[in-house]
Amino acid sequence: MTARRLRHAALAAALLTALAGCGVTTTGVIDVGQPATGAKRQGEVNAAEAKLYFMSPTGVTQVTRPAKAKLGAEDAIVLLLQGPDEDQRIRGLYTDVPKMNGEVHVTTGTLRVSIQMPFNVTRLSAVARSQFVCTAAANEVPRGRQIRDVKVELSGGGVVISDLVCDSNNAFPAAKLPTPAVSR
Q: What is the pLDDT of residue 40?
A: 47
Q: What is the pLDDT of residue 44?
A: 46
Give tens-digit pLDDT for 72-125.
Answer: 999 999 999 999 999 999 999 999 999 988 999 999 999 999 999 999 999 999
Q: Is 54 in a helix, a strand, or coil?
A: strand
Q: How far apart are CA 38 and CA 160, in angstroms?
A: 35
Q: For residue 177, name the pLDDT band (cuts at 50, 70, 90).
A: very low
Give dist(CA 171, CA 113) in Å, integer.
Answer: 13
Q: Please determine, for residue 41, whether its predicted confidence score (pLDDT) is greater than 50.
A: no
Note the pLDDT of residue 8. Answer: 75
Write down the domain spans for the chain.
Answer: 49-173
| Average pLDDT over all residues of the chain | 82
Helix (H) or strand (E) run with residue 160 in it = strand 159-167
